[in-house]
Amino acid sequence: MPTILRIGLWRFFFFSKEGQEPAHIHAAAQGKEAKFWLVDGRLARSYGLRPHELTQLAVIVREHRELFLEAWHEHFDRNA
């Protein structure tokens, strides 16, 4: 489960066995979690997050999209 970035309490990561899915990133903190698709930045699902938290996370995902995609491809292309 590579951690790609930490911002405040939030940890941005993906699971090593998710390479069969489209590129995405998970964000988790304090028992809350969200998953965003990296192709279009849409929310895939969330647990325990309030609307303003989801908005903040969506902004972070957009701002760091290239970093997340590079990490995704580096990890999964190497392990293919």
Output the CA torsion sign for 16, 62, 51, 42: negative
pTM for the predicted model, two decimal places:
0.93
The pLDDT assigned to 39 comes to 94
* Structural contact between residues 65 and 36, judged by C-beta atoms closer than 8 angstroms: no
Strand partners for 7: 10
| The total number of structural domains that make up the chain | 1
The pLDDT assigned to 79 comes to 60
Task: Show the domain range for 19.
Answer: 3-78
Tokens 């995902």 belong to residue: 61
pLDDT tens string 43-66: 999 999 999 999 999 999 999 999
